[in-house]
Structure 1
Amino acid sequence: MRFTGMFTGTLLAGVLLLGTAGGAAADDAPSPSATSSDTAGSAGGPTEAGTSFGTAAAFQPGRRATADGSTGDYLYWVFPVDAGQRATVTAKVTLPGSTARQGAATWQVDVYDGLRRRQPCVQGAQTRAIAPGAGTVELRCTLRTVRAWAEPWANDPLPGSYYVRLTVLNAPQSDLGLPVRAEIEAATTDMGGAHAVGGRLAAPLTPGATTSKDEAGVSVSRTSPAGAEPEDGWSSGWWTDRWIWTAAGGVICALAGIAGYSLARPSRRRAGLPPGA
């Protein structure tokens, strides 16, 4: 009876710990950032785009960036992504009426990291062809999970600035220059401790100030908007939900050891000893 009570208590403690750890893991489970119209409005989002990496317009994930441009322009934006997050970029292009356009066109959205390396899309259609009569085209690109650090030879996405470039790949010559309106949104998902690694970069990949010369040949220093960081700061650190599972596993192992000892030790009655000896 004594062993049965101890073993039952051990099992109940293990189930309780697993439930606690499971609840914590559920709290840390991947959940996309808010991207609804209530939070992704124009507040805080830029209303114009850059024309190069150096002039990219910065915005935060969960905000909507808009810009008016012309067919054939290269439009650039930039937003921050931290370690352990997976970013999804969506783009919507509104085109002029079908009477103004002469033919079909193909639009594409590309995403580059802080080293200006083009990152592949693991989900979504980043390239779409639009018929002459269509009024809008929507594009989507989901990146790989950002790692806290990587080997120098690897092309893994790293924490820092991520550039979005939107442009038309091919269009009739007569359609180039027609006005378009672009909307860009980015959502980040926390992928949890399963993607945590034992290391991190000394600093995120965010380009700093650049120096160039104006038309008069005078050196001008400009601070790139790509230096913007997440609203809650860069959170790459030592803490992940792996610590919860490690601690829970240690406690369960200790309880299992106690139960095993209670099961394996010889009974006093079996050894012929009096109960009080």
Structure 2
Amino acid sequence: MRIRRALTASLLAATALFTGAGAASAGNTGQNGDPTEAGTSFRTATAIKQDQKATADGTTGDYLYWQFPAGAGQRPTARATVKLPEPAARHGAATWQLDVFDGLRRRQACTEGEQTKKVAQQDTTVTLTCTLRVVRPYAERWSGDPLPGAYYVRLTVVDGPDQDMGLPLHAEVEANAEDAGGKYAEGGELGAPLHAGAVAEPEDGWTGSWWSDRWLWTVGGAVLGALLAIGGYTLTRHPHRFSR
């Protein structure tokens, strides 16, 4: 009898485990395919595409992680909006922070945006942004420059009343990247992107598009040079035409 009960309990536990896993997997994306969950560590960070909006429900005090791709010549920006717990349930002000790390888990500095913000008890939402430096196609080993590959976004509250830890919240995260232009174009490239296994390759590839506004300056300069050469030849060949 004890053996039968043990077997029955094991089967019930296994069924619950697989059922729960299936439900969690089915809840990973919404109707439009956008992610609806966040990871709780670098290893479990939810992968999102550029310009894709991800959402997640969590609790105050948790670390929420996402990852997105960025290629050479792009200037990435991560943005997060948190719908805070009801003001009546909170006990004071809190400070929220958005950090961005590269594929080697090196924290990248923000050149623009407000990545840390203090919110009052009566505030209902908080928006954080972080714009990184332009992604380089390659760099020295000792350098901390951003390189092509996956970038991790981490969202959390860094300071707040202990009584508020564990309260529910809703977060929306989006990452995009603009082309920095030919001014930042440079030769060379990495042999492979930094930890890009979980994210989709950017539209222009990891090494960036072959086209840049530098081509416009090059072609324009060549045309201008040709016109000046023709004008100079005409002036020296037939000076009497211009003297009249």
User: 1:251 Cα deviation (Å)?
Assistant: 2.8
Which whole-Å deviations, capped at 9, do the CAs of 1:184-210 have from their partners, x for residues lacking one? 0112111221110112212211254xx
Equivalent in the alignment of 1:257: 229
TM-score of the two chains, using structure 2 as the length reference: 0.80
Is contact 1:60–1:231 with CA below 8 Å preserved after alignment?
A: no
Q: 2:217 aligns with which of 245, 261, 264?
A: 245
User: 1:103 Cα deviation (Å)?
Assistant: 1.4
Length, aligned pairs only: 212
Equivalent in the alignment of 2:186: 197
User: Given the alignment of the two structures, is residue 187 of structure 1 paired with residue 157 of structure 2, yes or no?
Assistant: no
- The change in CA–CA distance for 1:47 and 1:124 in structure 2 (over 3 A counts) is same
Which whole-Å deviations, capped at 9, do the CAs of 1:38-82 have from their partners, x for residues lacking one? xxx973321000011110000111111111111110000000011
Larger radius of gyration: 1
The whole-number CA distance in structure 1 between the counterparts of 2:239 and 2:196 is 71
TM-score of the two chains, using structure 1 as the length reference: 0.71
Is contact 1:200–1:236 with CA below 8 Å preserved after alignment?
A: no
The whole-number CA distance in structure 2 between the counterparts of 1:233 and 1:60 is 13
Which whole-Å deviations, capped at 9, do the CAs of 1:220-239 have from their partners, x for residues lacking one? xxxxx2x4322564352654
CA RMSD of aligned residues (A): 2.1
- The change in CA–CA distance for 1:232 and 1:265 in structure 2 (over 3 A counts) is closer
| SS across alignment from 2:235 | helix
Equivalent in the alignment of 2:73: 84
**Aligned residue identity for 1:83:** A
Is contact 1:43–1:63 with CA below 8 Å preserved after alignment?
A: no
Is contact 2:69–2:196 with CA below 8 Å preserved after alignment?
A: no
Considering fraction of residues, name the structure with more helix.
2
**Aligned residue identity for 1:85:** Q
The whole-number CA distance in structure 1 between the counterparts of 2:232 and 2:172 is 63
The whole-number CA distance in structure 1 between the counterparts of 2:112 and 2:31 is 26
Q: Which runs of 5+ in 1 are unaligned?
A: 1-40, 209-224, 270-277
The whole-number CA distance in structure 2 between the counterparts of 1:83 and 1:264 is 47
Q: Which runs of 5+ in 2 are unaligned?
A: 1-29
The whole-number CA distance in structure 2 between the counterparts of 1:128 and 1:96 is 16
Equivalent in the alignment of 1:104: 93
**Aligned residue identity for 2:223:** V
